Amino acid sequence: MLHLTWNQKNSQQHDEPPFSNLPNLRQLVLKVYDTYYMEILPDLLRGLKSLEYFRSEKFFTKSLHPDTFKYTPQLKGLQIIHSELSALTPELFWPIPNLQVLDLSYNRIRSLDFLARANLPALTWIKLSNNMLSVINVTAFQSLPALTYLDLTGNPLTCECSNSGFSQWLQSNNQTQVVNGHQFTCAFPVSQQGNKFLDFDISSCWMDASFVCFISSAGLIVFTLLTSFIYHFLRWHLAYTYYLFLAFLYDKKRSKDTPHQYDAFVSYNIHDEEWVYREMLPVLEGEQGWKLCLHHRDFEPGKPIVENITEAIYGSWKTICVISRHYLQSEWCSKEIQMASFRLFDEQKDVLILLFLEDIPAYQLSPYYQLRSLVKRCTYLSWPQASQHAGVFWQNVRQALEGVERPDERTHLLAGHPGFNQ
């Protein structure tokens, strides 16, 4: 046995480790009385291949190199106390699988996770008193099959659900003797300070895992079915409700006495812009003198698109929807006709004019049931059938913009669009 008192003279570095010539030494005690910092090299114990017991006091400061015990494979007893160790790694213990006694008392260790992977099947005795352990992970003890003695006195245990596993293990464990386990007191939270650790009721911390899985699975299934149902059957209704709400808010903010800025807002797809400029604008603005609102020309830059659409529809006497196959496939055009139809339903006035650029068969309109319902109640015109009578077509548009509606003319217009014959 070698008992060595460490001072500044001992701390001077040498070419060889200090114990390299002691291969038969079985016990080593290192104790430091000074308070200065010293650098401990990882090969400090090189040469001590027969060492079975090692004790140090105030020797290691704050941490140990993973290779510290690489040269002591026969180590059975390890005591490192008063060293302010805060964290240890499992790799530190891999070279000493025969360790039976471990004393790490009077340090600042906060977690025992290193024991879970330390691979110490022969460890029977552990002392971890007066450390900073507040939450004990019982996995560390379950990985030590030979553990029969455990000292955790003087640790600031917390009496919360995070320690429920340790509390249960403490009461049900029959193999390991836990020193004064029934006398442990709570340090946290403040409301539990001074109470016995085992008096903390952990029943509220446990919940049947199978019940949780059942509730989660059932909730997920119901949510999936409900989402599918809403998407398939109610998605348009929800969209209509949303835009109707926006229109309602805009109508509340808009003064009833405010005059309309435009005669009509023209809703069209970009693919039909050439027709709008070549055929519509020269007649409606040039010849008839109507003031039209076009999104690319009259929308306010920087304002949200939905707000621009709402103001354009409610700021115009009427809305002209230039409908084509491209129009039906456009998301923004769909929003515009939805908003215009909401105004139609809200004000109960003939404010919507449907102008078809193409003959669209009824089966192609079936996914757009809102448009089909509008066709039955609103003025609509067909450009393909008016190609030989453009003057009559634009005169009908003028009558629609003026609000003139004669029963015989409306019947003529409805019959003039074979795509909607029932």
E-assigned strand segments in 203-302: 262-267, 292-294
- Do 281 and 190 share a domain, yes or no? no
Residue 291 has pLDDT above 80, yes or no: yes
For 144, half-sphere exposure in the C-beta direction (CA atoms, 13 angstrom radius) is 30
Q: Which residues contact 99 (CB under 8 A, 6 or more apart)?
A: 75, 76, 77, 78, 93, 120, 122, 123
Most confident of 203-217, 286-300, 360-374: 286-300
Q: Is the pLDDT of residue 307 over 60?
A: yes
- 264-278, 313-327, 335-349: range with highest mean pLDDT: 264-278
Query: pLDDT tens for residues 112-123?
Result: 999 999 999 999
Mean pLDDT of 24-40: 82
- Residue 297 shares a structural domain with residue 382: yes
pLDDT at res. 235: 64
Rounded mean pLDDT of 25-42? 82
**356-390 burial by CB neighbour count: b if 16+ within 10 A, else e?**
bbbebeeeebeebeebeebbeebbbbbbebbeeee
Least confident interval from 224-228, 252-256, 351-355, 393-397: 252-256
8 Å CB contact between 164 and 138:
no
Domain that holds residue 57: 1-206
Instruction: Give pLDDT, residue 121.
Output: 95
Q: What is the pLDDT of residue 335?
A: 72
CATH code: domain of residue 59: 3.80.10.10
* 91: in domain: yes
Domain count, the chain: 2
pLDDT of residue 174: 92
pLDDT recorded at residue 356:
87
Residue (of 422, 420, 358) closest to 385 by Cα position: 358
pLDDT greater at residue 1 or residue 8: 1
pLDDT for 421 equals 37
What CATH number is associated with residue 305?
3.40.50.10140
Asked whether 108 and 132 are in contact (CB, 8 A), the reply is yes
pLDDT of residue 416: 40
- Residue 364 is predicted with a pLDDT of 67
Indicate whether 320 belongs to any domain. Answer: yes
Whether 414 has a pLDDT exceeding 50, the answer reads: no
Q: Average per-residue pLDDT in the chain? A: 82
Confirm whether 219 is domain-assigned.
no
Between 288-297, 313-322, 370-379, the lowest mean confidence (pLDDT) is in 370-379
Asked whether residue 32 falls in the same domain as residue 140, the answer is: yes
- Between CA 405 and CA 108 the distance in angstroms is 91
- 180 and 267, same structural domain? no
In percent, the amount of the chain with pLDDT more than 90 equals 43
352: Cβ–Cβ under 8 A, 6 or more apart, which residues? Answer: 318, 319, 321, 340, 341, 343, 344, 374, 378, 379
Same domain, 307 and 403: yes
Look at residue 208 and tell me whether its pLDDT is greater than 60: no
> What is the pTM for the complete model shown?
0.52
The answer to whether residue 383 is domain-embedded is yes
264 in the same domain as 202: no
Q: Tell me: do 201 and 67 sit in the same domain.
A: yes
Same domain, 18 and 133: yes
pLDDT reported for residue 385 = 79
76-80, 81-85, 136-140, 343-347 — which is least confidently predicted? 343-347
Do 108 and 131 touch, CB atoms closer than 8 A?
Answer: yes
Helices 331-347 and 369-377: crossing angle, nearest 10°?
A: 40
Residues 127 and 200 in one domain: yes
**Least confidently predicted of 164-178, 283-297, 404-418:** 404-418
Kindly give, in sequence order, each residue whose CB lies less than 8 Å from that of residue 83, ignoring residues fewer than 6 positions away. 56, 57, 58, 59, 60, 61, 62, 106, 107
Higher pLDDT, residue 372 or 192: 192
Final residue of a structural domain among 206, 237, 270: 206
Q: How far apart are CA 393 and CA 288, in angstroms?
A: 13
Q: 5 falls in which pLDDT band (50, 70, 90)? A: low
76-101 mean pLDDT: 95
Burial code (b: 16+ CB inside 10 Å, e: under 16) for 178-213 equals beebeebebbbeeebeeeebeebebeeeeeeeeeee
Q: Is the pLDDT of residue 74 over 70?
A: yes
| DSSP state for residue 394 in the 8-state scheme | H
